[in-house]
Structure 1
Amino acid sequence: MNNEKIHIKEKIGYGLGDTASNLFFQSFMLFLLYFYTDVFGIPAAAAGTMFLVTRIWDSVNDPLMGILSDRTNTKWGKFRPYILWLAIPFGIIGVLTFTTPDWSVASKIVYAYITYTLMMMVYTAINIPYSALMGVVSSNPIQRTSFSQYRFIFAFAGAFIVQGITLPLVQQFGGNDDSVVIAEQVQNEIVITEKGTGTSKIELEATVPGEEPVEGKISLCVLTPEMFAEADTTSGLLTLQKGFEKKTVIVADYIEGVDLGKAQLKVSVVNERKGFMWAMVVMATLAVIMFLITFATTKERVQPAKEQKTSLKDDIKDLAANKPWWILFVLGIFTLSYVSVRNGAIMYYFKYYVGNDALASGFMIAGTIATIASITLTEWLSKTFGKKRAYIYSMILTSVLTVAFYFVGKDDIIAMFVLQVLISFVFGPTAPLVFAMYTDAADYSEWKTGRRATGLVMSASTMAQKFGWTIGGALAGWLLAAFGFKANVEQADGALTGIQLMMSLIPAAGSVLAAIFMLFYKLDEKFLGEVEQELKLRRVKD
């Protein structure tokens, strides 16, 4: 195979592009629904419908962007220009998505539809070319696997950043802000006085004398001014915790006079509207800088044959006949569904099954660190076993460990964390392996048809990602309802068992199916070596 040398600086520069993308993609996955319902004041049902409608259009939009980028020709190449042109719009629209004008509920919903749709469109417009760029940085499959490895190391670094700094930034930018409400302690009451418009979160910390270390925190969300007097306090629970024993006191139904008995109180206000907006300004600034570094440090080395025809009909026909592409497309849906169901269950697992939701953040971060560590082995796994076998082995181990999670008791905290680290470690390489395989599918299509449509082929990666995200997210909600889950109450045994299943056996079914499906993928390393050599000869003749 081609022993082309590419400097590590270019691979790091390419990887930073996925860090930039994930600063918003992960923010959407972790915080956007909460932001819409609790901060912006949109009904949950309306937000859910909006996600479904906009994601369906967004998934269809992916191949259109692939077709457009394949037909782009500039002095910078086909795909890099979009990273340059769209970096700043990406950041601006990302901030607007987390901005909250003081409008009526109906107007807010319209605003959310517009900004979220625009955000997903610009995300597609910059990420399809970004993904396609990996297919043309080198003609060598091993080099492309190396690029994919760097890409996903930096992608999960983005996830780590979002998990670690978003809420502290919200607290920092929105903390001690009395522009919306004033919250004061008057003896054993918290008196909340309306001052401005919008929403703020009231945080109460309480300690009980003589029972150290007993401490709890609650958050009461003050809604828009017209709803102020009837503010919903169903989440207003004061939890006093000592070890794993909990005592819960329901606060008064009217939040202007909260009697917390003998507890010593500390009250603060967090203007989450302001906090989230400025937190996203930080994310957007970082994303723009990283995208510009990606543009400046990468190079397109693989070009289609000069006489290649670019008929849209032929491109779609070629794609429809590309069996490896279809296999990878379905695998992407299985993989993201696995991630969506399992990750979507984490908060419920720790809040209701374990009884300590404070452990959830550490649980997720431990998994992310293990994932980043394992992705560094992707290139070695590809060289040692080949991409196909490495993927199958990783998915089999993932399935076994995920099934084992079902048998962990609610007090076995160490076992939970150990299994999470192991699952994340063996699952981590599967994403960069599959994305590298997409570039192989583009080579296969060119070898078979004489035409190359890298952007269209790579559009399947993000399209499958979004379909899996949508299906997995919907499935998680449907499963909770089917198991009898009810928010903010003690769960019945059936609901607790269901939450366990969502962390174990149910996602394991998806990983097993993915491993089985990969058996039908025929592009092994020997065959790809022959394809690479023949394509190289064709390009020399051209």
Structure 2
Amino acid sequence: MLAEKQRVKQTGPVQGERPGHKEMLNYGLGFFGVILTWTLVGTFLTFYYTDVAGISAGVVGTLMLVARLFDGVTDIAMGTLVDRTKSKHGKARPWILWMGIPLGVVTLLLFTVPDIGDGGKIVYAYVTYILLILVYTAMSIPYKTLLGYMTQEPQGRSVLNIYTGIFTMLATLVITILAQPVASAIGGKIGWTVVAGISGATIIVTSYLAFRSTKERVAPSTAAQKNSVELTVGIKSLFMNKYWLIMTLYCVITYTLNALVTGAGLYYTTYILGNAAYFSISSLLLFVPSMIGFFFAAKLTNNFGKRHIALVVSIIGIFGPIIKLIDPSSLPIFLTGTVIQGFGLVPTIMFIYAMINDTAEYGEWKFGFRTQGLVNSAASFGMKVGAGLGGALIGWLLAFGGYVGAAAEQSASATNMILVLNIYLPLGLAVCQAILMWMYKLDKQYPQILKELSERKMR
């Protein structure tokens, strides 16, 4: 019944066209700016709040979860807004143009907590973090949705996602390797403000370049332009889309894991390994599997498909935390485990956005209408809930263990919580990752889905 009421036809002479490498490069470059903010906030904001701004770990943990839950609501609203946007620039591209400067400015404000007392700092943190959420959502949801509008050709979408992954990795490496040394070299709060300012300026430039150089090819149908799918109907279709459910839960698990590995990593190198500088080394090694994988990604994807590769590397990644358990205080063992653990990041960096957008085709095939923005925003909700949950766990467990910000040494209970955050919880989450990827079997069905969708449009 749902399909009969909402089934529409799509038209567009260039929907199967693949973007050129220059266009893909500029799309990836725009993602570089977006990921700068995501990584800076996800990796260092908790540490900045607790050890630089002087806000208690428990308060920070609650802030992270409350703000991210609010973030999920804005994601759904933004996805619906993108689906309903009508402009000469398309549906997703205009938002990338509009939100570049606001995102750059708010990134700077976030790492500029003034000395206005404990209560004032908390209020400032809540206000600026929620403001960041609103602006970041208005940028990131259209950006992820744009991937689905640029091409519907499966290999082209996979290659485009590889470009995205390359710049995602580069942005993550730039922040995780350079942010802490640069901030420390400058010193105090101003060091982190300078790092945030550089990131903000980069976002403004890269977002404009991405807007100017990309093109939306997957046009909505004439019927869809006249009759937008109701929000309740769209949401109902999402929860009947089994592959979207799998990918959304995968996003929650994966981004919780990523938040723990990156956000708690600086505490680990500082208090377990005894040198904060080791964090930059471990951050680089975490991406070694992805850096190697990019040289073979296009060929492997063409031969084996996204899901099979993602499943294999997810299973390998499970052994990273297990290796670290051999001797948690040994730097060589920690770094070896980090490299192995990095295999679990490969699906997130190289395939996740393409796989999420693939579920939009499955939904269109099953229910007869396309909600590209809603699919991406709802999956993004899972990412942000995961990131918020990871950040909250860091703050809450550190507070439960009696962690004292900027202290020379920590108590045994605080040290145990750092181990839990960096080894035991990531191990359990890595197992869940592999199980979910085993359940995702859309790749095998996808070519037939595209064929049937194409036949419908010819009727």
| Residue of structure 2 equivalent to 1:336 | 255
- Of 472, 475, 489, the residue aligned with 2:409 is 489
Distance in 1 separating the partners of 2:215 and 2:160: 12
Deviations 1:372-393 (A, max 9, x none): 3334543333222222222211
Give yes or no for contact 2:43–2:262 (8 Å, CA) kept in 1.
Answer: no
Deviations 1:390-422 (A, max 9, x none): 2211111111333222114634x3333233223
Letter in 2 for 1:13: N
Distance in 1 separating the partners of 2:124 and 2:417: 36
Structure 1 pair 67–357 and aligned structure 2 pair: CA distance change class (3 A)? same
- Of 9, 13, 18, the residue aligned with 2:31 is 18
Give yes or no for contact 1:137–1:302 (8 Å, CA) kept in 2.
Answer: yes
Greater Rg by CA? 1
- Structure 1 residue 304: deviation in Å? 2.1
Q: How does 1:349-364 map to 2 (within 5 A)?
A: 349-364=268-283
Are residue 472 (structure 1) and residue 390 (structure 2) matched? yes
Deviations 1:34-81 (A, max 9, x none): 333454454444433332322211122111100010000111110011
Letter in 1 for 2:313: S
Structure 1 pair 306–291 and aligned structure 2 pair: CA distance change class (3 A)? same
| Residue of structure 1 equivalent to 2:8 | none
Are residue 417 (structure 1) and residue 430 (structure 2) matched? no
Deviations 1:1-43 (A, max 9, x none): x984431111111111221112211111232233334544544
Matched residue of 1:73: which SS? coil
- Structure 1 residue 484: deviation in Å? 7.4
- Structure 1 residue 442: deviation in Å? 0.5
Q: How does 1:386-397 map to 2 (within 5 A)?
A: 386-397=305-316
Structure 1 pair 417–273 and aligned structure 2 pair: CA distance change class (3 A)? closer
Matched residue of 2:149: which SS? coil
| Residue of structure 2 equivalent to 1:126 | 139
Between structures 1 and 2, the one with greater strand share: 1
Please report the RMSD computed on the Cα atoms of aligned residues, expressed in angstroms.
2.7
Give yes or no for contact 1:305–1:539 (8 Å, CA) kept in 2.
Answer: no
Distance in 2 separating the partners of 1:159 and 1:20: 10
- Structure 1 residue 508: deviation in Å? 2.0
- Structure 1 residue 294: deviation in Å? 0.9
Give yes or no for contact 2:42–2:263 (8 Å, CA) kept in 1.
Answer: no
Give yes or no for contact 1:145–1:378 (8 Å, CA) kept in 2.
Answer: no
Give yes or no for contact 1:62–1:460 (8 Å, CA) kept in 2.
Answer: yes
Distance in 1 separating the partners of 2:262 and 2:324: 14
| Residue of structure 1 equivalent to 2:218 | 302
Identity across the alignment (%): 34
- Structure 1 residue 153: deviation in Å? 1.4
Between structures 1 and 2, the one with greater helix share: 2
Give yes or no for contact 2:157–2:354 (8 Å, CA) kept in 1.
Answer: yes
Give yes or no for contact 1:90–1:119 (8 Å, CA) kept in 2.
Answer: yes
Letter in 2 for 1:436: A
Deviations 1:87-124 (A, max 9, x none): 11111222222234454543343332222111111000
Give yes or no for contact 1:157–1:372 (8 Å, CA) kept in 2.
Answer: no
Aligned length: 440
- Of 95, 100, 108, the residue aligned with 1:87 is 100
Letter in 2 for 1:130: Y
Letter in 1 for 2:409: V
Q: How does 1:102-181 map to 2 (within 5 A)?
A: 103-170=116-183, 175=186
Letter in 2 for 1:288: I
- Of 208, 211, 214, the residue aligned with 1:292 is 208
Structure 1 pair 18–65 and aligned structure 2 pair: CA distance change class (3 A)? same
Letter in 1 for 2:244: W
Bigger Cα displacement from structure 2, 453-462 vs 427-436: 427-436
Matched residue of 1:407: which SS? coil
Letter in 2 for 1:513: C
- Of 364, 368, 372, the residue aligned with 1:446 is 364
Matched residue of 1:355: which SS? coil
Are residue 97 (structure 1) and residue 17 (structure 2) matched? no
| Residue of structure 1 equivalent to 2:42 | 29
TM-score, structure 2 as length reference:
0.87
Distance in 1 separating the partners of 2:334 and 2:367: 50
Are residue 383 (structure 1) and residue 299 (structure 2) matched? no
Give yes or no for contact 2:269–2:278 (8 Å, CA) kept in 1.
Answer: yes
Letter in 2 for 1:417: L
Give yes or no for contact 1:65–1:459 (8 Å, CA) kept in 2.
Answer: yes
| Residue of structure 1 equivalent to 2:376 | 458
Distance in 2 separating the partners of 1:28 and 1:455: 24
Structure 1 pair 162–62 and aligned structure 2 pair: CA distance change class (3 A)? same
Bigger Cα displacement from structure 2, 373-382 vs 136-145: 373-382
Structure 1 pair 511–351 and aligned structure 2 pair: CA distance change class (3 A)? same
Give yes or no for contact 1:135–1:144 (8 Å, CA) kept in 2.
Answer: yes
Letter in 2 for 1:432: M
Listed as ranges, the gaps of 5+ residues in structure 1 are 176-269
- Of 325, 334, 352, the residue aligned with 1:434 is 352
Structure 1 pair 401–46 and aligned structure 2 pair: CA distance change class (3 A)? closer
- Structure 1 residue 520: deviation in Å? 2.8
TM-score, structure 1 as length reference:
0.74
Structure 1 pair 496–36 and aligned structure 2 pair: CA distance change class (3 A)? closer
Distance in 1 separating the partners of 2:275 and 2:246: 40
- Structure 1 residue 365: deviation in Å? 2.0
Are residue 54 (structure 1) and residue 67 (structure 2) matched? yes
| Residue of structure 1 equivalent to 2:434 | 515
Listed as ranges, the gaps of 5+ residues in structure 2 are 1-14
Are residue 274 (structure 1) and residue 190 (structure 2) matched? yes
Distance in 2 separating the partners of 1:123 and 1:446: 28
